[in-house]
Amino acid sequence: MDASNEMSIEGFSIALAAIAAVVISGVLRTCFSAPTSRGASLLQYLSFVMVGKSSLAIVAVVSSSYMIHILRKRLKHLPPGPASYPIIGQLLSAPLAVEHVGYQRLSQDLKSDIICLEFMGNTIVVLHSAQSASDLFEKCSSIYSDRTQSTMVAHEELTAFHARQVFHSRQLLSRLLKYDGQTISSEELGLELERLPAASILDATYGYEVTSSDDPFVKKVKQIDDNLIKSFLPTQFLVNVMPFLIHVPSWMPGTGWKQTAKEWRELKDSVVEEMYQWTRTQMAQGTAEPSIIRSIVESYANKGQEIAGEDEDNVKHAGISFFGAATDTSSGTLLAFVVAMLLYPETQRKAQDELDQVVGSQRLPEMSDLPRLPYLNNLLQELFRWQPVLPLGIPHTCSEDNSYRGYFIPKGAIVIGNAWAMSRDPNVYENPDIFNPDRFLDPSVPPVPAFGWGRRKCPGVHYAESLLSISIASILANFDISCAKDGQGRDKAPSAGASTDTLFYRPEPFSCVITPRSERHRHLVSEIPTQGGFVHSL
């Protein structure tokens, strides 16, 4: 359709809406005409008072606006969506909890892998197939991505920290040994697993060594991360559903979220500055360990420059952003790994057999062992598929009007890839609810894009994969993971489901038992140094 035809049709739609507004106004005036008889009811009289000229004008404008909206939608041909209502649009159909499952059901009901919802000024497009996500996020990344990959966390630089990842994975083994044969809750285990990526990231980013579970930096950054997750959830703040509320004055009732946002921002700014200045102080004293921050600052100095202004601000914030993304994704995947080992013990034994052949029982796994562990590598890929740690993906924004498969996607639309739905596509993955690493023996089976797409793909993907690989290899090489028992001595198997109201994957609460595989393995783990003992290789 050319521009002139589109303008004429749009003009016609506006004219038609204006006529409709006049008709609606007349009907309303007839319905709510002034009472003329003394016997008129009180309700009729009150109705007339409340629906005066100004009220009728508002109703007419709203009605005409809605008609314009409907006509424009039909003209532009947006992707399929659920039933729409005046004013609120499709708000009632938007899932507020377990969003990835809710959107998947909408997609199935509408029989379309691309769906659209409009409400309160928002246009949300959700993609449910790998093909549509690849077409938009990768082939049209200039339109659907507004940020490029951070050079700070490019994988070429992060591979220099492999020795430190090995060190931190072994620290996890030492901490797990204290639970030898005891029942451990998923909450306790989660804290131990969170410490692994937290310590690794703080070490790699700032050269800071975490020495306890109560480390002040870890606690502060974790609080910032929790705040960020809450800010994404529509169930936490009404402004996420009605963005126009951002313009409401802070003194009005119901705007407490503005004070919350102010406090969270102040905490984030103070911690960002504190952590960055800690590294700069260490550098000034000549005691700084190798780190990404140190490397970037020194690269400026080597060119006779001092990092400052926007460049310095970007480095400060990139460091803490990397921490949040890596900590949540890595710890979530490790928890999914434990659940999978409890529900599918045969996969645990198969991975351990492979480790016994390659590593043996006289030493701990090394990074150099990973290429010779194909089953373990497939196990990790199956974890990404079975429980995508970010099931609904990171939202993308469409930067200009675009057309895809005959559907109109307007500028400003929020476009989301539903990784969960893609991971459950029976046309791609046979028996998708079953955890089966062997499915990736078939080279035609694609991996799930667990780390996103295009320019918005997680820049730390290589770092996360290597940390997870060496950690899972180290755990399976030395420990057996088994179900806790109930009062009758029966296994208490965990659920394969996930907790609700969280941006990242977290399993439903469970308990388990972690035991060294043998006395030899117990002794091997007990000899791991509790701190130090590794070589920086940057």
Residue 31 annotated in ligand binding = no
Nearest Cα neighbor of 404 from 109, 2, 115, 101 is 115
Full 3-state SS string of 58-69: HHHHHHHHHHHH
Q: Collect all residues with Cβ–Cβ distance below 8 Å to 372 and sequence separation of at least 6.
A: 358
Q: From CA 139, how far away is CA 143, in angstroms rounded?
A: 9
Q: From CA 341, how far away is CA 84, in angstroms rounded?
A: 44
The end-to-end CA distance of the chain, in Å, is: 58
Beta strands in 99-155 (DSSP E): 114-119, 122-127
- Spatial strand order in the sheet of 479-485: 183-185, 511-516, 479-485, 491-492
Cα 47-52-56 angle, rounded to 5 deg: 100
**Residue 264 DSSP label:** H
Strands 114-119 and 479-485, sheet pairing = unpaired
Q: From CA 491, how far away is CA 86, in angstroms rounded?
A: 53
Q: Which residues are annotated as a binding site for heme?
A: 458
Q: Which residues are annotated as a binding site?
A: 458
